[in-house]
Structure 1
Amino acid sequence: MNQRIAHSTGASEVTSPTTALSFSDVMRSRHSVREFLPDPVPPEVIRGVLEDAQSAPSHSNTQPWLVHVVSGAARDELSAELLAAYDEQRFSSDFTDTYGDGVYQERARSQGAKIYGKLGIARDDQEGRNEVIRDNLRFYGAPHVAMLFVPQLGDGVRAASDVGMYGQNFLLSLHARGFHGVPQAVHGLFADTVRKKLGVSDEFKLLFGIAFGTGKPDSPVFNLALGRIPLEESVVLHDTTLG
């Protein structure tokens, strides 16, 4: 059943023990979780996360995001549709999905090697690797998934970057409240399937989904450290001094 979020004013109350963390600590300690407990997130927490995400900046305040939060039976049905689309190879991407041939592909391969290694899946284990993909489409067992859509405005780059900032707010708010999330671009490979199931117009393009809930702490990939490149590899300073 579709439901519109009623208007609410006032700051969202955060009661998680992690609220003692500084904002910098929240950002640096957030990590993607790839195995969840089935426990649902309380409705008031979901509302608070959505209100936090809504504060994201956007180009000329266009706020070009459409978000469908899917839980319960609707979540199970959506997962089943995605698995069927994958098994039948019914791909329908709104955006290209490539890492190129250079350093970006190397970083992606490094992440994959770390995840498969922690899961004990060998490089030539095609069945095991296929099951990892299917687990993506089961939302890693998370009780909720938020699908983030963007309207096709111009070439779509500015609107997509705005939705990216929305998604980051969403993830950080979850973490600050003691919950976990993982952005999943794989959902975008089946955009037509998701749109049809959720009743979304073709004018909205599926950017990615965010599975969320409570991470399973004994998962082998719960605290997987993927690392970040040094600042010197991504930042150029012009008459600027760092402390």
Structure 2
Amino acid sequence: MAQQPANQHKETLLQTLLPFDQAVRARHSVRHFLAKPLAQETLISIANDAQLAPSNCNTQPWNVHIVSGAKREVLSQRLLQADAQGLHSPDFSFDMQAFGGAYGERRKQQGKIYYQSIGIARDDLEARKAVVKNNLNFYGAPHAAFLFMPSFGDNVRTAGDIGMYGQTFLLSLAARGLAGIPQTILGFYADTIREFLSISPEYKLLFGISFGYEDRNAPANQFKMGRAPLNQSVTFHD
């Protein structure tokens, strides 16, 4: 087969991307992936898209590590071992119970719908623990990105920049018909991940993103959470 010229190949790739309005609606958190890895060219394209994320004064504070293949398998085992030994080392605090009011109700509703979709009863604590541990196997995804950041002041502005990077990364996936899930829980094992990837302690782990091809037949992927009405979140002033 004749090889496409570079510019023609680029145009073909661009034509396959979803327009923004479709990509932003297609994006959802996927909790079961196919084992099929992405091509290195695709990984680079996604990373290049995310590199265009906005940041305060163009500081671009993200320090991202993408783990695949054999490295991904070993890291998953390290994380499971750390969990079994109770070796939690979050760089930032997180309290699920701190979410009150409508925020807490949304959190509870998401958990209820998710566990119902995969057929796990509320009182089946062992099955629920196994589901949580599946986070540490990246939900079967062939790739995981870890979003590290330098520490400046109270870290709020920098963390906001990392969030914008993460959303750009996720939308790049969605535009290509791929899937991902941002995982706060991966940040609970910062020391384990830093040591395994030989990352300097000056970089703090905010969260990770597992990503790849969605398993569209998996029960865990058969629901999509809705959003609050716009008037509960946005006020227009004129």
TM-score normalised per structure 1? 0.90
Tell me the alpha carbon deviations over residues 109-165 of structure 1, each in whole angstroms, 9 at most, x when there is no partner: 111111100010001101110111111100000000000001101110111100111
Secondary structure of 1:182's partner?
strand
**Displacement, 1:29?**
1.6
State the alpha-carbon separation in 1 of the partners of residues 138 and 132 from structure 2. 10
Out of 104-113 and 40-49, give the one that drifted further: 104-113
Secondary structure of 2:13's partner?
coil
Instruction: Give the one of 18, 21, 24 matched to 2:21.
Output: 24
Task: Tell me, yes or no, if the aligned pair for 2:19 and 2:175 is still in contact at 8 Å.
Answer: no
Query: Sequence identity of aligned pairs in percent?
Result: 50
State the alpha-carbon separation in 2 of the partners of residues 79 and 17 from structure 1. 36
Paired AA for residue 200 in structure 2: S
State the alpha-carbon separation in 1 of the partners of residues 74 and 103 from structure 2. 34
Paired AA for residue 197 in structure 2: L
State the alpha-carbon separation in 1 of the partners of residues 44 and 163 from structure 2. 19
State the alpha-carbon separation in 2 of the partners of residues 16 and 140 from structure 1. 29
Paired AA for residue 31 in structure 2: R
State the alpha-carbon separation in 2 of the partners of residues 223 and 48 from structure 1. 28
State the alpha-carbon separation in 2 of the partners of residues 12 and 195 from structure 1. 36
Tell me the alpha carbon deviations over residues 178-231 of structure 1, each in whole angstroms, 9 at most, x when there is no partner: 211111110011111111111111111101101011011101122412110111
Paired AA for residue 44 in structure 1: E
CA 52–13 in structure 1, closer or farther in 2 if over 3 Å, else same? farther
Paired AA for residue 201 in structure 2: D
Paired AA for residue 54 in structure 1: Q
State the alpha-carbon separation in 1 of the partners of residues 12 and 64 from structure 2. 22
Out of 54-63 and 103-112, give the one that drifted further: 103-112
Residue correspondence of structure 1 range 48-197 to structure 2 within 5 A: 48-99=45-96, 100=98, 101-197=100-196
Match of 1:224 in 2: 223
Match of 1:6 in 2: none
**Displacement, 1:102?**
2.6
Tell me the alpha carbon deviations over residues 70-92 of structure 1, each in whole angstroms, 9 at most, x when there is no partner: 00111011111111111111111
State the alpha-carbon separation in 2 of the partners of residues 223 and 237 from structure 1. 35
1:15 corresponds to 2:13: yes
Give the gaps of 5 or more residues in structure 1: 1-10
Match of 2:211 in 1: 212
State the alpha-carbon separation in 2 of the partners of residues 193 and 131 from structure 1. 20
Paired AA for residue 13 in structure 2: T
**Displacement, 1:25?**
1.3
Tell me the alpha carbon deviations over residues 5-57 of structure 1, each in whole angstroms, 9 at most, x when there is no partner: xxxxxx966638752x3211110121111001110001101000000000000
**Displacement, 1:106?**
1.6
CA 12–62 in structure 1, closer or farther in 2 if over 3 Å, else same? farther
